[in-house]
Amino acid sequence: MRAKPHHGETSLRSGAAAPAIALTIAGSDSSGGAGTQADLKTFSALGVYGASVIVALTAQNTRAVTAIHDVPLDVVEAQTAAVLDDLDVGAIKIGMLSSPDIVHTVAKALEGYDGPIVLDPVIVSKSGAKLLRDEAIDALVSTLLPRATLITPNLPEAGALLGEPAARDDEEARAQGERLARLGPAVLMKGGHAEGALCTDLLVLPGGGLSRFTAPRIDTPNTHGTGCSLSSAIAAGLAKGLEMEDAVRAAHDWLQGAIRASDRLKVGSGHGPVHHFHQLWSDQEPRDEVMS
């Protein structure tokens, strides 16, 4: 499934260096702040070519998710096969998978893929809507967690995967991360739902290693899509060939900048999105003159 030139190698057709490529397998967000749209924005912001497999369509904005429509299973499988058959995908990010059937379909479609997989177990949206059905959690744990290179749960998601209450402090978060890591993947326990002036993410490795990524907690309501964006930023780093800890650190630093700059966007009236292009867009206000 990885027959095309790896990024940095020369393309026979153009003579140009092939870009790093990452694939997102997730649900869409009609408001553009989370899901597939956030993943593709993140890939682009970090200099990675993004491809996508959409597994569900959602009607949502910064205030609520009002409808979810699952994509037919054969179309999910066909999208995945089409991308992997033609593109040299350096890493895959998996996000919202709403049903057990979709979980099993994605797992089957990825059977021949040998690159890194970042799994973001999206269970509840920022507005509180349930995005992963209860019966799909067991399928996720048994089918995809062992295949993943890294999973990126927040504290409530980690608790749900284990059938336990959410961790209340770093010690409990580390213990839950270690239990999840016994299933195979590295685990990034995200601390955004914890209390305190500092936000700490814990990277727990299957072999027992631990790294901490700490930053001041930013006072803003504009956190729509933070989980999607962090996991896709890590996938972007892995697609470029970074080691796990380096990819997580780079993604963590980039997301902090995206959250700090989020108030500049002024998108929506609820939980607005982070600013994916904070390093690229000009701070200048748009001019009133008509462009010809």
How far apart are the C-alpha atoms of 22 and 87, rounded to whole Å?
9
Is the sign of the CA dihedral 195, 163, 148, 62 positive or negative? Answer: negative
Name the residue among 108, 155, 103 with its Cα closest to residue 132.
103
Instruction: Report CA 264 to chain centroid distance, whole Å.
Output: 23
Which residue among 227, 237, 240, 272 is the active-site one? Answer: 227
Active site residue 199: no
Active site residue 225: yes
Distances (CA, A) of 51 to 42, 167, 236, 261: 12, 34, 12, 26
Active site residue 190: yes
Q: Contact 106/94 with Cβ under 8 angstroms?
A: yes
Active site residue 36: no
Which residue among 225, 237, 240, 272 is the active-site one? Answer: 225
Active site residue 152: no
Give the strand pairing for 186-189 and 198-204: antiparallel
Which residue among 93, 126, 190, 240 is the active-site one? Answer: 190
Question: Which three-class secondary structure string do you get for 237-281?
Answer: HHHCCCCHHHHHHHHHHHHHHHHHCHHHCCCCCCCCECCCCCCCC
Distances (CA, A) of 207 to 141, 149, 197, 239, 271: 19, 13, 30, 23, 37
How far apart are the C-alpha atoms of 98 and 79, rounded to whole Å?
17
Which residue among 42, 93, 126, 228 is the active-site one? Answer: 228
Is the sign of the CA dihedral 26, 260, 201, 199 positive or negative? Answer: negative
Q: Phi first, then psi: give them for residue 40, nearest 5 degrees.
A: -65, -40
Which residue among 36, 80, 149, 223 is the active-site one? Answer: 223
Which residue among 50, 159, 226, 240 is the active-site one? Answer: 226
Active site residue 226: yes
Name the residue among 38, 42, 81, 36 with its Cα closest to residue 55.
36
Active site residues: 190, 223, 225-228
